[in-house]
Amino acid sequence: MSRLTLHTVDTAPEASRPFVEKALANNGFLPNLIGVLANSPQALQTYMTVSGINAETSLTLSEREVVQITAARIHGCDFCIAGHTAIALKKAQLPVETVRALQQGQATGDARLDAVRAFSEAVIATRGNVDGDAYQAFLAAGYNEQQALEVVLGVSLATLCNFANSLAGSAINPQLQPFASGAI
């Protein structure tokens, strides 16, 4: 049971409804995260806006999902692990073994994805104050200054979602349960 009200299209505050309707149309179901964020139209608008901006970065969808799964794992957000696992498998077409490794915080065997995972971990652990070695390792994997900041952007988006889900105690939607950590 969610600690915060889990809104539907019908119960969401008026200012949240357009975002709730969009999420329902995009997903075919209403993710519990959206139902929770609907309590604050501003939080929901921020999530939707920053999600759109994050999708426009120079990082690939696979790389963005590495950031999201890594942050969710570190922040203990089972809902976001499941949601981003679904995207990583279905849309980014990452191999199951790769996604399973990300869920567990292990090396994937893909040098570039592992560099994004390691840099994301460093950004979170140090609150952005990564040491020179971590930053140089990220650059040595072929990334640049812009992409370092795009990882920070992805972490900020994940933090909003992860913390909102943790505050609410959001359950994983039935549609996402097959993608939960340990389920794939």
CA atoms 59, 60, 61, 64: torsion sign: negative
51 vs 182 pLDDT, higher one: 51
- Report pLDDT for 25: 97
Tokens of 98: 């790769």
Does any domain span residue 178? no
CATH at residue 78: 1.20.1290.10
The 10s digit of each residue's pLDDT in 120-134 is 999 999 999 999 999
DSSP 29: S
Q: Which pair of structure tokens corresponds to residue 114?
A: 């592992």
Whether 67 is covered by a domain: the verdict is yes
Sign of the dihedral defined by the CA atoms of residues 80, 81, 84, 86, in that order:
negative
Among 149, 155, 144, which Cα is nearest to 70's? 155
In angstroms, rounded to a whole number, what is the distance separating the alpha carbons of residues 131 and 123?
Answer: 9
pLDDT (tens digit per residue) in 11-45: 999 999 999 999 999 999 999 999 999 999 999 99
Residue 95 lies in a domain: yes
Buried b (16+ CB within 10 A) or exposed e, 2-12: eebebbeeeeb
How does residue 95 score in pLDDT terms, banded at 50, 70 and 90?
Answer: very high
* Residues 166, 35 contacting (CB under 8 angstroms): no
Structural domain boundaries, residue 144:
60-168
Residue 127 lies in a domain: yes
Q: Answer yes or no: is pLDDT of 1 > 80.
A: no
Q: Name the residue among 77, 81, 152, 99 with its Cα closest to residue 122.
A: 152
pLDDT mean across residues, the chain? 97
Query: What does the pLDDT look like over 99-108, one tens digit per residue?
Result: 999 999 999 9
Contact 20, 10 (CB under 8 A): no
Is 44 domain-assigned? no
176 domain residue, yes or no = no
Residue among 155, 164, 96, 102 at smallest CA distance from 130: 155
Q: What is the value of pTM for the model shown?
A: 0.96
Task: Read off the pLDDT of each residue in 81-95 and give the average, rounded to a whole number.
Answer: 98
In total, how many domains does the chain have? 1
Has residue 18 been placed in a domain? no
- Give the pLDDT of residue 179: 97
Mean pLDDT of 68-84: 98
Q: What is the pLDDT of residue 102?
A: 98
Domain assignment present for residue 154? The answer is yes
